[in-house]
A and B are shown apart, each in its own frame.
Chain A
Amino acid sequence: MIGFDIVGFMISWLTLFGIYAILSLTLNLESGTAGITNFGKVVFYGVGAYVSATLTAYLILMLNGVDVSETPPYDIEGIILLGELGNKSPLLNIGLLVLSLMIAFAVSGSLGYLLTYPILRVGPAFVGFTLLSSGELLRIFLQHYEPVGASKGLMAIPTPFGWIADSRVREAAYLSLVLGLLALTYVVTHKLINSPLGRTLRALRDDEIAALCLGKHVPRIKATILFIGSGFAGMAGVLLAYYLTSVNPNMFVPAVTFNVWAMIILGGFGNLKGSLLGAAIITFVDRVLTFVTPQLGVTVISPDYLRWVIVGLLIVIVLLVNPKGLLPEKPIKTPALDVVLEELRGESR
């Protein structure tokens, strides 16, 4: 082989890992801890991506004096213009990034909040189906909605760091953005879980009716959790849109959700570090496969198929053997826990 750009590999792997890790952390919050079986994660992801793509594409054109009803950003002239005007003003690009993140969080979060109503009606077992169907509904709608490019989608989206001349520096800057958002997500979810609220969430997951009887306002809690989880997923979507510089409704299909589910099952329900581990393992294996498969010569079976069979089997095996996943659920760290541990240690002496 010619030579191996390890720095480039690490950057590209970690960027994708970061985006998926945000998704797995939030999914673990919703499904692993609060028991909301979210099979529709991809829709919040997709909404965030579309928000940032649409906002950036339209605003860059409009702020440069282009009439978007004549040259919309999804037609060829608009695309060429986007390419030319996209990297003129660093301030504008970064401003759009911040704006996109905020608006995507708000929109995706509100969508999650709204979807809590149907979920409450159907009960725990059918939450998955409801969210899955809602996701598909939105995707079909986007495929027909002309202003966001309908089935063509949007492309040539100007990136926040496009004004940096050196491509390696640009990639590194983007990676730090992704990791920064990942850290934020981690801190927020960690705080949420390691608190009395977190205990309530686990109660919800393990026995909803009991929690209800104890006076917990289940609907409001679920709505809040979905709001936060979906909001962060929306921000992950923004990161994806800028990374691929294009969006398309077919990128946001249920298979993406199932991939994230594999990550949290592997890593362990209810354990945040586990989600990071699960996301890391799966994205790493995917990347390494692209280096490994050409060495196998002409393949009879596409290695992609093998990868998915293994993912499916892993889900089953992990659930059978050790449903806690690789990293078990830890007790919730609140001040109350410290007191309990103190007492235990005191008694055992």
Chain B
Amino acid sequence: MGGSLIPGIQQAIMNTLQYMLFYLIFSLPLTLSYRTTKVINFAHANFITYGAYVAIFLHGIMGLNIMSVAAILAFLITGAIAVLNNVLVFTPLQKRGSSPAIIMISSMGLWIAYKYLLYMTTDIAHYYTIKNFVSYGRITYSDVPRGSVGGVELSQAFVASLITASLVVVLLYLLLEKTKIGRAMRAVADNPSLAEISGIPKSFVVNLTWFICGGIAGIGGVIWTSFSGAITPEAGDSMILQVFTVGFIGGLVSLLRTGIGAVLIAAIENVGIAILNTYFGVPVSFRPFLTFVTLITTLIVSPPLGAGGGLPYRFLKRGSRR
């Protein structure tokens, strides 16, 4: 086993695929929510974490390890949180005409509040059950099969994320292209005022979008509990920069480019670091360095235009050349 060029390449490729699936599940909803609402939502990290903790509390307190149940519950809960955020915070701010920066900062406040609310919940749960929920081990589910393809073992996480990611991609495509409500979502995304005038119930559509996006991320969190060895209330946070990077590659508007971004980042993080480590002796602890470099490079080389990014300066040269 193992390639000749890079030892362990097979494992690296498996990890790349696994991470690609996770990034798809986490980032597609981010892109969709931004595209429709123009809100850069820091609290997206909480959707992932809360989804994971729904599964954890089900497992730790009630001894339940059925993924389908956890997934449905997580979908409902995180979706509801997303809608709550919108109704209570984002919409009032937008009505008042606050700048996107202010709304982003408010989402940062929400992110902090939700995170520590979860910490408090783990403390309370600890008090009653003595179990430690601040750092929880991997959950083995009873309703997810392990697979085997051509001699390669597929873990539970892989099977579950493969099924989920495929479903998400297919269903989102069908929703946005074929259904009336999906077209309404696209209309609101492209031109909110026109959409409203032509009779589309904008606030309903926006809330529905938030519900779906939050829910999908929550399901991703549930699957994460079968992959990671230790989940903490900061689980979503440590991944949020990668998730945003993938979104930025998609310009935060194009779902297809987001998918490409997912593959790219997953590859850099797994195969890229393996190559750098084998041939250039770069320590493995430099892995997050690569992600950040990619983030900055993406932002600089191709900043998402839809956010008013970089427009004035693309054409501004010294001595102004028109």
Contact = CB atoms under 8 A, between A and B. Distances in A.
B34 to A, nearest CB: 10
Interface string B264-295: 00000000000000000001011011001101
A147 interface: no
Given A137-B289, A313-B109, A319-B106, A305 B123 contact: yes
A126 B303 contact: yes
Nearest to A302: B123
A265 B105 contact: yes
Given A133-B292, A141-B289, A300-B124, A126 B307 contact: yes
The B contact surface, by secondary structure, is helix
Interface stretch (B61-69, B190-198, B309-317): B309-317
A7 interface: no
Given A144-B285, A305-B116, A123 B296 contact: no
A251 to B, nearest CB: 17
Contacts of B40: 125
Interface of A: 35, 37, 118, 120-126, 128-130, 132-134, 136-137, 140-141, 143-144, 208-209, 212, 218-219, 258, 261, 265, 300-302, 305-306, 308-309, 311-316, 319-320, 323
A306 B116 CA distance: 7
Interface residues of B, number: 50
Contacts of B303: 121-123, 126
Across the A-B interface, the 10 shortest Cβ-Cβ residue pairs: A315-B109, A312-B113, A123-B309, A312-B112, A125-B307, A308-B116, A316-B109, A123-B310, A133-B292, A122-B299
Interface stretch (B6-14, B96-104, B138-146, B170-178): B96-104
B89 interface: yes
Contacts of B124: 300-301
Given A265-B105, A308-B112, A212 B312 contact: yes
Given A121-B313, A306-B120, A129 B299 contact: yes
Given A121-B299, A122-B300, A140 B288 contact: yes
B117 interface: yes
Contacts of A306: 116, 120
Contacts of B113: 308-309, 311-313, 316
Contact of B293 (A126, A137, A302): A137
B111 interface: yes
Contact of A315 (B112, B116, B241, B313): B112
B244 interface: yes
Contacts of B114: 312
Contact of A136 (B93, B117, B127, B292): B292
A118 B292 contact: no
A209, A308, A314, A316 pick with most chain B CB within 10 angstroms: A316
B108 A323 contact: no
B107 to A, nearest CB: 9
Contacts of B105: 37, 261, 265, 315, 319
A128 B102 CA distance: 12
B296 A125 contact: no
B119 interface: yes
8 contacts: A125-B100, A125-B307, A126-B303, A137-B296, A208-B312, A312-B114, A314-B109, A319-B102
